[in-house]
């Protein structure tokens, strides 16, 4: 990337989080500057705060100003499937039938590297168009599919985590690897791509049902050999799935224990769903420091159930949580639409989810779930300048809901932001920046550039 040698300023209303509003008073967690300025140098945030104060520290600063817009840290999607983007909205089935009938055939196409390359461009364009700047992504079983995604993410300088899926049973022959091949292919991908620029690797067994015990233990071996790669899989999503795992692993004390015995339950593990977890499993995840990707649009679409966020966020046994779109079982690429469904799931459980909590999950909470909070998740100086420019009036309904586009203070911005959580989608994304460089811009972006 060609960085300007000069620092660059971004002016607008700035909102971010510095701590977890599930555990601390919201006022201590949220930061809001109605007229703020963020200064970026070589892709890194150099300063951030009230406009007048920060501006006075620079004699000469090129500034992109976004009047009437809200700047937030880029959204973080902690669980999404690259090869499922073309099969969203597959009708009428719950998880296991949905996988067999729709998902497996869709993923077969990603053995073709040229096709995977074309789709990787569209996939990343779609993430950026929705304000998502980092994602933890399932590729397909074919190593080429992970390579295509890494190549496309590298070209865009994205911080992205992916991995080739490991699956050696209970799937069509055309989609199966073997325990030995999955080990050597994953290993080669790790050696090529992990920590190359901003890219990171996740060892990715699909779920316990599609891996033999031998494959799971080789996944554990990879984690031992490469202690800073991630583990990314599905866990306790659907009741029939949980019952099937019990049949497949009769000598294990539940679903999580299958992963645990293989050495997969650690600090860098991210488990998608967890809708059907037992209390003891929440305790174990908390002790292990593992994370859950809460995927409400998917859980509702597949009828999987209502994730008990309040259990994950308990005081006694806290579990890190991020939000996942889980496209293609998820029904939107938008983390805003995902927060909307997270709110509705909470309501159905007679719980509340504030805008502050929801947007924390979509930003700093996601960064913590992915153990990337040292480099991402808010506007702290020293962090990577991935951010999103939101239009609080981006749809007709939002324009009615938020008649004043810039909130005067923290209380008002919490209300405005709740409007975005419930009504927002891709139309509320004005622009997306990666390392301080424009990566997506809506047709009517409302940016004013000036140089002084």
Task: For residues 59 and 79, give the distance between their C-alpha atoms in angstroms, rounded to a whole number.
Answer: 43
CB of 79 to Zn ion, least distance (A): 6
Cβ-contact 361, 342 below 8 angstroms: yes
- Spatial distance between the Cα atoms of 241 and 237, rounded to a whole number of angstroms: 7
Toward Zn ion, which CB reaches closer, 137 or 417?
137
Return the number of other C-beta atoms located less than 10 Å from residue 62's C-beta. 14
Residues 263-282 that bind Zn ion (CB under 5 A): 272
Residues 6+ apart with CB under 8 A from 429: 129, 130, 131, 388, 389, 390, 391, 394, 440, 442
The number of angstroms, rounded, from the C-alpha of 366 to the middle of its chain's C-alpha atoms is: 6
The least CB distance from residue 295 to ligand GUN, in Å, is 7
Site for ligand GUN in 319-338 (CB under 6 A): 326, 329
CB of 96 to ligand GUN, least distance (A): 9
What the block records as the tokens of 191 is 């050696």
Which entry of Zn ion, ligand GUN, none binds 107, CB below 5 to 8 A by partner kind?
Answer: none
Residue 94 has φ and ψ, to the nearest 5°, of -100, 180
**# of chain residues touching Zn ion (CB under 5 A):** 2
> Is residue 51 within 8 Å of 33, Cβ to Cβ?
yes
Here's the x/- map for ligand GUN, 177-206, by CB under 6 A: it reads as -----------------------------x
Residue 268 touches which member of ligand GUN, Zn ion, none, C-beta under 5-8 Å by kind: none
Give 77 or 237: the residue with its C-beta nearer to ligand GUN: 237
According to the binding rule CB under 6 A, does residue 78 interact with ligand GUN? Answer: no
Give min distance, CB of 269 to Zn ion, in A. Answer: 15
326 is an interface residue for Zn ion by CB under 5 A:
yes
Residue nearest to Zn ion (CB): 326
Contact status: 341 vs ligand GUN (CB under 6 A)? no
Task: Looking at 289-441, list the stretches that DSSP marks H as alpha helix, in order from N- to C-terminal side.
Answer: 296-301, 309-312, 335-348, 355-362, 364-369, 396-401, 410-423
Q: Of 46, 78, 103, 145, which one interacts with ligand GUN (CB under 6 A)?
A: 103
Alpha-carbon torsion 312, 295, 166, 371, what sign? negative
- Report d(CA 308, CA 416) in Å as an integer: 26
Q: Which of 66, 75, 207, 440 binds ligand GUN (CB under 6 A)?
A: 207
> Which residues of the chain form contacts with ligand GUN (CB under 6 A)?
81, 95, 99, 103, 206-207, 234, 237, 298, 326, 329
> Which residues of the chain form contacts with Zn ion (CB under 5 A)?
272, 326
């Amino acid at each position: 990337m060609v960085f300007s040698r000069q620092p660059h300023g971004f002016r607008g209303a700035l909102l971010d989080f510095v701590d977890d509003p599930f555990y601390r008073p919201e006022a201590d967690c949220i930061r809001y500057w109605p007229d703020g300025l963020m200064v970026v140098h070589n892709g890194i945030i150099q300063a951030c705060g009230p406009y007048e104060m920060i501006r006075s520290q620079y004699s000469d600063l090129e500034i992109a100003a976004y009047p009437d817009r809200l700047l937030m840290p880029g959204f973080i999607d902690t669980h999404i499937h690259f090869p499922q983007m073309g099969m969203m909205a597959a009708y009428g089935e719950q998880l296991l039938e949905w996988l067999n009938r729709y998902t497996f055939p869709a993923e077969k196409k990603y053995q073709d590297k040229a096709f995977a390359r074309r789709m990787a461009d569209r996939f990343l364009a779609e993430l950026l168009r929705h304000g998502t700047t980092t994602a933890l992504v399932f590729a397909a079983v074919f190593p080429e599919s992970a390579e295509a995604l890494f190549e496309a993410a590298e070209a865009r300088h994205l911080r992205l985590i992916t991995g080739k899926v490991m699956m050696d049973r209970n799937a069509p022959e055309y989609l199966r690897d073997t325990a030995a091949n999955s080990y050597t292919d994953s290993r080669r991908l790790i050696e090529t791509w992990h920590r190359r620029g901003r890219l990171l690797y996740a060892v990715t067994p699909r779920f316990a049902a599609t891996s033999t015990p031998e494959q799971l233990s080789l996944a554990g071996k990879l984690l031992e050999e490469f202690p800073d790669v991630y583990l990314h899989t599905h866990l306790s999503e659907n009741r029939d799935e949980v019952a099937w795992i019990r049949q497949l692993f009769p000598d294990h004390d539940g679903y999580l224990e299958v992963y645990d015995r293989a050495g997969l339950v650690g600090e860098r593990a991210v488990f998608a769903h967890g809708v059907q977890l037992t209390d003891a499993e929440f305790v174990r995840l908390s002790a292990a420091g593992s994370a859950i990707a809460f995927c409400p649009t998917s859980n509702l679409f597949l009828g999987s159930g209502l994730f008990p966020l309040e259990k994950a966020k308990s005081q006694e046994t806290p579990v890190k949580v991020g939000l996942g779109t889980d496209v293609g079982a998820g029904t939107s690429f938008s983390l805003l639409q995902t927060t909307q469904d997270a709110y509705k799931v909470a309501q159905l459980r007679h719980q509340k989810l504030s805008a502050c909590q929801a947007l924390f999950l979509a930003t700093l909470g996601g960064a913590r779930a992915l153990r990337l909070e040292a480099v991402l998740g808010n506007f702290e100086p020293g962090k990577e300048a991935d951010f999103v420019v939101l239009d609080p009036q981006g749809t007709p309904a939002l324009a009615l809901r938020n008649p004043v586009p810039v909130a005067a203070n923290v209380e008002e911005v919490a209300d405005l932001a709740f409007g975005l959580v419930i009504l927002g989608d891709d139309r509320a994304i004005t622009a997306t920046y990666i390392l301080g460089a424009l990566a997506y811009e809506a047709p009517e972006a409302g940016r004013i550039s000036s140089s002084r």
